[in-house]
Amino acid sequence: MPEGDTVFRAARKLDAAISGQVLTRTDLRVPQLATTDLRGATVTETRSRGKHLLTRIDHESGRWTLHTHLKMEGAWQVYRPGERWRRPTHQARVVLGTARREAVGFSLGIVELLATDDEHTVVGHLGPDLLGPDWDEAEALRRLTAAPERPVREALLDQRNLAGIGNMYAAELCFVAGVHPGRPVGEVPDLPRLVRTAKAMLDLNKERPVQATTGDLRPSERLWVYRRERRACRRCGTPVEVAMTGEEGRERAAYWCPRCQPV
């Protein structure tokens, strides 16, 4: 699932491509919205909230928000009118066309249209957004420490605590902090520093097309432990370990160095 910085860049791309323009074509290819026609409406902006995308639209019928989520395989792409799409047509879930650009959402995990005043019903549960204008470190820490017995990796992944961290950043943050992903939040030596590191990582990566946590942008050198199982730890040479962890039905792979991140 894309990380918060990936979604932030998608929002910025959509905002630059179609905001301030009148929709000349709308095709919402999900059953509940199949007959919806927003032609003539003006796109006002697209913003990210954690891993959610909110495209706001002014229509004669009111102010609407197109809420989309990339989930595992989704992506938004922008084209010139008539340009051939780079992904199969059957994967398109949303098409928003203007006189100058065509924005296409492929394999989107969520597509909803709701009144802008009701956005809280889809993103109101989220914790402080690491890349949001109203980022609140103290509130994020309050939420994280409300369950001190919870494994730190699970707590970081819970979007109700702070929004924007996915599996890759959770693994990399635990490594950089030198804590095992299963260590309880209450036993993390310097939790505020870990949270500040998270913000710094996402802030840096939101400005470039590739994600890196090591400072090395070469394709095979960008990450410390994520998806590097059985390969040598970059710090100590010990093989990186991997295990499926998390709540039942929501298990994801955890990566760590057993020497640098002891239990």
| 137, two tokens | 């470190």
Q: Which of 94, 118, 98 is nearest to 41 (CA)?
A: 98
Query: 171 near 153, Cβ under 8 Å?
Result: yes
Catalytic residue among 47, 49, 51, 206: 51
Catalytic residue among 3, 102, 154, 172: 3
Active site residue 206: no
Catalytic residue among 2, 128, 151, 181: 2
Residue 50 to residue 164: CA distance in whole angstroms: 4
Q: Is 22 helix (H, G, I), strand (E, B) or coil?
A: strand
Residue 85 to residue 172: CA distance in whole angstroms: 34
Residues forming a β-bridge with 163: 129
Catalytic residue among 12, 25, 143, 252: 252
Active site residue 187: no
Q: Which of 86, 75, 169, 174 is nearest to 130 (CA)?
A: 169
Active site residue 2: yes
Q: Which of 212, 226, 223 is nearest to 255 (CA)?
A: 226
HEC-encoded secondary structure of 5-17: HHHHHHHHHHHHH
Active site residue 252: yes
Q: Which residues are catalytic?
A: 2-3, 51, 252
